[in-house]
């Protein structure tokens, strides 16, 4: 019989409550409906998933409806696995429309985004009849990834700032995502290019390839805030998080997935995977913040607020607020840094835990997360030294 | 009645003289006719202006005709403001064609570019009838920018080398230009993407976005010299100036607006806004020239001729001719540089104003604009030192 | 009369033997059939050549057939020059098809690629009749380049790993290749843009230009291995060689032509023209390997296996296996490096030719090609020092 046409918000709530009360039912961590791109040679191979709307710990009414609409179309959602993917069907759409009936008309603009998705799908499918490329996707447990669809759902959650950086499990992403040639937003199997190379080349129809990667670019899927600027789409990978007011310049910059900014940041350098930069900070031209895969021995790096990483500097330790790493200076975990006694005292004022050492020598890792440190190379002696920086540090704020 | 059809060059000159003699008339600093792109949602919002021809302190006959043709179409140009923008109209085109009549046939190739613009517009408008997207733009005073059209006119003037770098007032540009998503040469309102995200994504029609920025890229509007190479369009912002023979590599390079080169330069590093590099110089891979917004305390940096900035070096002071900054060395305003006495003497030969200091220690800023200095880090001691470089310095040429 | 239709593999071999036995006949070093792009204004100017298949010291049977099919169409291949280019003709195709007859049906997938080219050409030309844009290209001597077609053939040979890096003569390439604007895969004459600028701009049809260069990008012509990733097509020039398993990140990286990797390498920095990086090595973010044109005094740099170049380091000497250059450290030919005596002894164990020097001071060039060296800057003193690295070095393998 299917879902009966719902007439009021009250009825909708009752229906949702009824669905949620079923034995074994679980609210998903994330869910959404994706359009997928399939392999040109192997149509079973899913190359990409695009979401018009991503839900992350929210909109549990809609997920209940989707679960029930799937059940009515013969697909029982498995709540025990970490993720569940089902193909959209005519019955699924029909039942969803009936359940969402009270909201159909008002589902425009910012209102009832999931209902908008169903409306749009209904319209697309009426004309094409091709349901195979649309998937209902749920994540029930934050475990290692198993499908392309769930991987994109998590990448969206990060890039839309719905999930915190380093806050979700991305294990398995590299195994799940296929390596493809990207022609604009379209992923192409490398084997397809190989099999058709002669024909494509001789006909002048070989596609323009912008990259070959498992991940798409951030701007292929995400609309940044009005005051965010990304001057070259290749510089930010999907799965990065770019807070409003951030500017990413096109020189030597790069922001990897599961890395990014928490507020307005000027980015002219590299924010490696797992690195996070706080509001008001400045990653200078060519500056490198090392990632867990590139030199930090597994310790992910956070940079505080109002901190300045100079041009071509390298930072291999986490830094607090109001720090400066001078242009060209490298501060790694093992770098030995000399701090004059008077400066140790000044630094202790804002970093109570900083010990006083008689030899005045500190390893980089011993200065991790401290505030207001200015790292520089004494150009008369070559010694790497540290002082109290002149930048503002908000006190009473130990760590990030 | 409008302008009477002009028959000879003599008559044309008379007409121009008559227009220019009118009370309050003023020759513009710059003028041109632009095709504009409008917002997809808000068609009143102008996103970009494209000029086929830009006039900068030149072609005052054509500007007189444009002023008069506007007057004849009911639009009185206001000579008192800093800039003036009017929409093209049928009458404007008709009157311009009458005034330019003696030149219509010969307006091809390099001849009579403004006449070519009117001819082309006439042809376009006959078929489309849509005049709204074409604007006549004048700049009368070099003041803070007020319109998108005038901002683009100034950016063109810089990028076409018609106005000198740092020579015009760009205040207000960031306020005037809207932040947009660029899909190829087409600017798209971010709000348009937001409002249509679901539809675009589910239909597989989400546009390929190459950048999100207020400025377009240099190569979207400017045709470089035959011997200029720019290996990645994202690396040069509109408003930069790239002299013939310059090569911009795609590694860590970037040239911002109001910055650039004065002759053949190999650019593999960053030329920040306001920085200028002289002929024959080499900005090595990853080298950074700081800009007024990034570390130079408001002093814009010029680099002389035949100067070499080594890979991953950082330069925060202006340099003269024939200098070398070694790979990996940072020379900032406050860097203390040791110069051996014998080298001070040698440097004084080509830099008469360099004082002899007993402690042989110079701050970076004290060596600003000098010629023939070779900066290096003594790898035995770590001391930053300077010598007389081995590179050619053209004498009798104190500053740039 | 032309070639008689061949019926068996035996007959084919006989025909090839007969052609090869002719006086003056020579097997080519490389050959292939290219589709060319011509100038929009000057159609005699060839802007690009695209090969579906490139033969390099292989498939001499096919080249013999091509030579004979040309002869039968009235074109006598000149074996004395270094390269020979002929336009495809109806007779050439017809004769090639007759000679390849026994293989026509089985020429699919990986089999008989040159036959596939002839089949595809035959099909294209039947419908278009336009033979002028297809060229048969031979290289008989590895000498300075004379044609665009032969230049692309050599660039393909390098990028397809059919010819070794630094193994072929690329002199003349810069003179032969025209500088063009690239709109996707399509090269456009700069003069065409100039002549049509007004029309293109005012009609909103100015093409999207991704670069202006003599060389195309690697990904415009080459399909990388399944486990290779190139996150931004602008980062690898055509003529580079990218071994399977290599990842090229989009931050500050660049790989020029005649440079590249010999195995899986993580590339986040610059591999200049002529530089080669061995398997398992890591070119850190912003690291620069200098090229013969940028600071190495003509000595091309090889980096061994399992060697790590830290972020923003600069390497101006060849390195062996298992080396480390710390982040931010520059090692040039003239850099003076201090090695403690105990470390000299350890380094001699794997580098028997390393002399023991009493002053413990070595110039960079004296340490060229050695294995297992760890270069760092002592952050207490600023001295550049070297130690035995902790990375694995495969012994009994002196040089690369």
Q: What DSSP string runs through B227-262? A: T-EES-GGGBBTT-B--TT-EE-SSS-EE-TT-EES
Comparing C-alpha atoms, which of C254, C259, C257 is closest to residue C278?
C259
C294 and B286 within 8 Å at the Cβ level: the answer is no
pLDDT, position B398: 40
A294 and C312 within 8 Å at the Cβ level: the answer is no
Q: Which of A149, A189, A268, A305 is catalytic?
A: A268
* CA pseudo-torsion sign B356, B362, B363, B365: positive
C227 and A383 within 8 Å at the Cβ level: the answer is no
pLDDT, position B390: 87
Judged against a pLDDT cut of 70, whether residue C241 lies above it is answered with: yes
Count Cβ atoms within 10 A of the Cβ of residue A199 and give its class: 0-12 exposed, 13-18 middle, 19 or more buried.
middle
pLDDT, position A202: 97
Which chains pack against A, by 3+ Cβ pairs within 8 A?
B, C
A327 and B288 within 8 Å at the Cβ level: the answer is yes
Structure tokens at A379: 């150009």
Q: Nearest-CA distance from C141 to chain B in Å?
A: 30
pLDDT, position A346: 97
A329 and C328 within 8 Å at the Cβ level: the answer is yes
Give the pLDDT band of residue A129 (cuts 50, 70, 90): confident
Q: Nearest-CA distance from B249 to chain A in Å?
A: 11
The partner residue sitting opposite A288, judged by closest CB among C134, C223, C311, is C311
A201 and C35 within 8 Å at the Cβ level: the answer is yes
Residues of chain A above pLDDT 90, percent: 93
* Segment among A125-139, C223-237, C332-346 with least mean pLDDT: A125-139
Give the pLDDT band of residue C297 (cuts 50, 70, 90): low
Distance, CA of C286 to CA of C308 (rounded, Å): 13
Mean pLDDT of the region A339-360: 97
Q: Which residues of chain B have pLDDT under 50?
A: 396-400
Residue of B nearest to A284 (CA): B294
Q: Nearest-CA distance from A349 to chain C in Å?
A: 25
Q: Tens of pLDDT along C179-209?
A: 999 999 999 999 999 999 999 999 999 999 9
Contacts of A33 in chain B (CB under 8 A): 202
How many A-B residue pairs are in contact by the CB < 8 A criterion?
159
- 3-state SS, residue C288: strand
Complex ipTM value: 0.96
Neighbour tally for C105: CB within 10 Å: 10
Contacts of B376 (CB under 8 A, 6+ apart): B324, B326, B329, B384, B385, B386, B387
Residue of B nearest to A113 (CA): B198
The partner residue sitting opposite B120, judged by closest CB among C199, C251, C383, is C199
C52 and A198 within 8 Å at the Cβ level: the answer is yes
A223 and B190 within 8 Å at the Cβ level: the answer is yes
Chain A contact probe: residue of B314, B357, B361, B380 with most A CBs at under 10 A: B314
Contacts of A233 in chain B (CB under 8 A): 209-211
pLDDT, position A293: 65
* Interior/surface letters B389-398, b for 16+ CB within 10 angstroms, e for the rest: bebebeeeee
C254 and B285 within 8 Å at the Cβ level: the answer is yes
Active site residues of B: 268
To the query of whether residue C268 is one of the catalytic residues in this protein, the response is yes
Distance, CA of A356 to CA of A201 (rounded, Å): 68
Q: Nearest-CA distance from A183 to chain C in Å?
A: 10
Mean pLDDT of the region A40-62: 98
Contacts of A338 in chain C (CB under 8 A): 380
Q: Nearest-CA distance from A122 to chain C in Å?
A: 36
Judged against a pLDDT cut of 80, whether residue C399 lies above it is answered with: no
Comparing C-alpha atoms, which of B266, C377, B57, B53 is closest to residue A378?
C377
Residue of A nearest to B194 (CA): A223
Judged against a pLDDT cut of 90, whether residue C391 lies above it is answered with: no
- 3-state SS, residue A227: coil
pLDDT, position C129: 82
Distance, CA of A383 to CA of C65 (rounded, Å): 70
**Taking all residues of chain A, what is their mean pLDDT, rounded to a whole number?**
95
Give the pLDDT band of residue A297 (cuts 50, 70, 90): low
Q: Tens of pLDDT along C355-379?
A: 999 999 999 999 999 999 999 999 9
B288 and A382 within 8 Å at the Cβ level: the answer is no
Contacts of B33 in chain C (CB under 8 A): 202
Q: Which of C268, C333, C349, C392 is catalytic?
A: C268
Q: Which domains does chain C have, with CATH numbers?
A: 9-170 (3.30.70.2010), 183-213 (no CATH), 218-388 (2.160.10.10)
Alpha helices in A214-267 (DSSP H): 218-221
Phi, psi of A43 (to 5 degrees): -70, -10
pLDDT, position A393: 77
Q: Nearest-CA distance from A52 to chain B in Å?
A: 4
Distance, CA of B154 to CA of B145 (rounded, Å): 9
Contacts of B398 (CB under 8 A, 6+ apart): none
Distance, CA of C211 to CA of A82 (rounded, Å): 45
The partner residue sitting opposite C229, judged by closest CB among A209, A213, A312, is A213
Question: DSSP character for A238?
Answer: T
Whether C261 and C246 have beta carbons less than 8 Å apart is answered as: yes
B198 and A120 within 8 Å at the Cβ level: the answer is yes
The partner residue sitting opposite A231, judged by closest CB among B211, B330, B381, is B211
């Amino acid at each position: 019989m299917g879902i009966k046409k719902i007439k009021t918000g009250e009825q909708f709530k009752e229906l949702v409550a009824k669905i949620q009360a079923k034995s074994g039912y679980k609210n998903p961590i994330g869910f959404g409906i994706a359009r997928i791109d399939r392999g040109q040679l192997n149509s079973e191979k899913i190359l990409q998933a695009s979401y018009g709307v991503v839900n992350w710990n929210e909109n549990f009414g809609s997920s209940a409806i989707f679960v029930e609409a799937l059940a009515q179309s013969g697909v029982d959602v498995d709540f025990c696995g970490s993720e569940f993917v089902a193909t959209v069907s005519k019955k699924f759409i029909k039942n969803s429309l009936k359940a969402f009936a009270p909201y159909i008309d008002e589902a425009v603009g910012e209102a009832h985004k999931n209902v908008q998705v169903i409306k749009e799908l209904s319209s697309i499918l009426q004309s094409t009849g091709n349901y195979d490329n649309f998937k209902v996707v749920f994540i029930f447990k934050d475990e290692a990834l198993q499908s392309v669809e769930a991987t994109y759902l998590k990448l969206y959650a990060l890039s839309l700032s719905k999930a915190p950086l380093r806050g979700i499990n991305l294990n398995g992403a590299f195994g799940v995502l296929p390596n493809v040639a990207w022609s604009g937003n379209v992923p192409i199997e490398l084997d397809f290019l190989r099999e058709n190379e002669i024909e494509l080349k001789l006909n002048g129809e070989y596609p323009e390839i912008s990259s070959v990667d498992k991940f798409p670019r951030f701007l292929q899927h995400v609309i940044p805030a009005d005051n965010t600027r990304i001057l070259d789409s290749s510089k930010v990978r999907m799965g990065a998080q770019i807070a409003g007011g951030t500017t990413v310049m096109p020189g030597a910059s790069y922001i990897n997935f599961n890395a990014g900014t928490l507020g307005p940041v000027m980015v002219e350098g590299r924010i490696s995977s797992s690195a996070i930069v706080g509001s008001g900070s400045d990653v200078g031209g060519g500056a490198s913040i090392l990632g867990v895969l590139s030199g930090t021995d597994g310790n992910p790096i956070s940079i505080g607020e109002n901190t300045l990483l100079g041009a071509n500097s390298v930072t291999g330790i986490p830094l607090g607020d109001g720090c400066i790493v001078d242009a060209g200076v490298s501060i790694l975990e093992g770098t030995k840094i000399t701090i004059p006694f008077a400066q140790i005292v000044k630094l202790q004022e804002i970093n109570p835990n900083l010990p006083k050492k008689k030899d005045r020598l500190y390893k980089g890792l011993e200065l991790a997360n401290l505030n207001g440190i200015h790292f520089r190379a004494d150009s008369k002696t070559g010694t790497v030294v540290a002082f109290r920086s002149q930048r503002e540090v908000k006190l009473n704020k130990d760590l990030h």
